[in-house]
Amino acid sequence: SSHFGPSSRRGSGSCLPHPRAAQSSAPSPAPAAAIAGSAAAAAGMPHAGMAAKRPARVVAGLFAVLLCLRASTGLWPAATGGTQLPAAVGATPSRPLPAFAATASAAAAGRRWLLRHRMRAVEPCKNEAFLDDAIAATGTSDPNVLVVGFSTTWCGPCKLMDPKVKKLSETFEGRVNFIKLMGDKDEDGLKIMKREGVRTVPLYQIYKDGVKVDEVAGADMEALTRNIEKHAAGR
């Protein structure tokens, strides 16, 4: 039997034999083999039976991965003659994606573009060219109705109308576009107001199919709503 000297410590994870015990007769081959086997197991080395089973487990694991890939994406790796993932995600396609996939991708890109460029509920007027383009667009695309509101930073009635016009723009979303021009603040503001003959604020001009069709002066929400409804009702 082996005994341990005072140098061994409880809980250290290993026990060291006493020097005198190490000088005793060498262990028999069977215990040595058992010790070697235990050491190999502790080191994570499989014995002969486990090593023989490993290839079968690897093959089964790869097959399971292929099944999961097929179920989740509908794509096989290129080695099986199928379609690889597109280059955008790090793979080179062996053949083009199906037509429906390309169409769906283009549609998604179009929706993202529209979201980025869609006019806000009430779009600030950037400059004279911006306003002219918006007016011209009513003659070639939808919405074909545009409301241009003229205001200034010091106009009290304009500030009272702003939240009401914003709510009105939400009511007519998709049918009418709204632009707000601040004469004493926006670029080309005074120039545009002079060009349009604006003498009082707030003033709301209504354009349809590229032509000015109506105008509402003052903080008259009822008249503005009525005129917008009239022109947005039909083409």
Looking at the annotation, which residues are catalytic? 155, 158
Q: C-alpha distances in angstroms, 99 versus 7, 36, 196?
A: 76, 62, 51
Give SS3 for 138. coil
Return the DSSP state at 78.
G
Give SS3 for 60. helix
